[in-house]
Amino acid sequence: MLFLRYLRRNVSLTIGLVILLLLILFTLIGSLYINAEKDPYPLAAPPRVAPTLSYCPKTKPNCPTPKAYPFGTDSQGRDLFAVGVVGTWLTIRIGVLAGVIGLLVGMVVGFTSAYYGGTYDLIVRWLVDVLLTVPNLLILVVIASVLGSETLGLNQEALIISLTAWMGPARLIRAQVLSMRERPYVMMARLNGMSNMSIIFRELIPNLLPYLGASLVGAVTGAIFASIGLAALSLGTLREPLLGVTIFWAQQQSAMISGLWWWYAVPVSIIVLIFVMLFMISAGLDELANPRVRRAE
């Protein structure tokens, strides 16, 4: 109840959560109407059907059961409604998986380097600075080609993406912890003889929770972006109906010139929804973490 009342004040968080709810409903209800093993893959449907609710093959004179392709089909015979349903779920899954791994690693690195300081901190900071100068795409490309993109599964792709997802959170958390460890309550805990570990877990992490939430959303956003970017460069798994992969195939088969606008429209609109959702949630969390921002309302 209290949460609902808070949501009335935090508009962006509400909008974000509503979009998230809609996307979840779309995948849940949509999955009742499709065969997830078959429909989002090639040759599951007649090719190049414009969005329609009653499709009948021309060869049959009076078709008894017209089939619905509300989002149309692509030129390789995927049912784009099924692609939308499965692709949304798979894309978010990759993002969340990579984002969570990245955040966990970043947390460990950020906490330890800020808390212990010294040479370790110097090395970490230097490593993060250097790694951030090398484009993520290059690192991802090299690793994707080491493993060979034919054998690459969705989970492996998430793991690869998480390799470049930890530096951002590490830097952010390090900065926050640096400012927090000088606060009086931490000094108090230290004077009371608390160990480093329990200071981290009982004093610092609870205070960092809003930042951790925000940086998780950031990491997930980055990971989804990376998965779409990899696909656009023809890397990673190209067989699974990820949203980025769908855009890649549409590009590859010149969907625009063939007039199959819906082939682009489906993945692009879902991607826009996903990113607006993440943006709204992160703006909402920001308001939660920084009460100062509230004054802008």
Interface with another protein (CB under 8 A): 126, 129-131, 133-139, 141-142, 145-146, 225, 228-229, 232-234, 247, 251, 256-257, 261, 264, 268, 271-272, 275-276, 278-280, 283, 290, 292-293, 295-296
| Least distance from another protein to the Cβ atom of residue 136, Å | 7
- Residue 69 parent element (H or E): strand 67-69
Q: How far is the CB of 111 from another protein (least distance, A)?
A: 24
Between 26 and 225, name the residue whose CB sits nearer to another protein: 225
* Amino acid, single-letter form, for residue 21: L
Cα atoms in the Cβ-side hemisphere of radius 13 Å centred on 174: 23
Task: Name the residue nearer to another protein (CB basis): 42 or 229.
Answer: 229
**Residue nearer to another protein on the CB measure, 71 or 111:** 71
Smallest distance from the beta carbon of 293 to another protein, in angstroms?
A: 6
Residue 230: name the closest of 170, 158, 278, 168 by CA. Answer: 158
Structure tokens at 153: 């599964």
Shortest reach from residue 196's CB to another protein, in Å: 27
Closest separation in Å from C-beta 276 to another protein: 5
Q: Among residues 207, 226, 221, which one has the least CA distance to residue 289?
A: 207
Q: Which is nearer to another protein, 202 or 294 (CB)?
A: 294
Taking CA atoms, 160 is separated from 30, 48, 137, 146, 153, in Å, by: 30, 34, 11, 11, 11
Between 57 and 135, name the residue whose CB sits nearer to another protein.
135
d(CA 82, CA 72): 10
Query: What is the spatial distance between Cα 44 and Cα 24, in angstroms, rounded to a whole number?
Result: 24
Q: Which is nearer to another protein, 24 or 130 (CB)?
A: 130
Tell me whether residue 15 or residue 45 sits nearer to another protein (CB atom).
15
- Whose Cβ is closer to another protein: residue 85's or residue 231's? 231
Q: State the nearest-atom distance from the C-beta of 197 to another protein, in Å.
A: 32
**CA pair distance 217, 209, nearest whole angstrom:** 12
Question: Rounded to whole angstroms, how far apart are CA atoms 17 and 29?
Answer: 18
The secondary structure element, H or E, covering residue 68 is strand 67-69
Distance in Å, CB of 176 to another protein, minimum? 16
Q: Which of 94, 74, 95, 75 is nearest to 83 (CA)?
A: 74
Closest approach, Cβ 122 to another protein, in A, equals 11
Q: Region of 110 please: left (phi>0), alpha (psi -120 to 50) or beta.
A: alpha
Measured distance CA(223)–CA(134) in Å, rounded: 17
Residue 53 three-state SS: strand
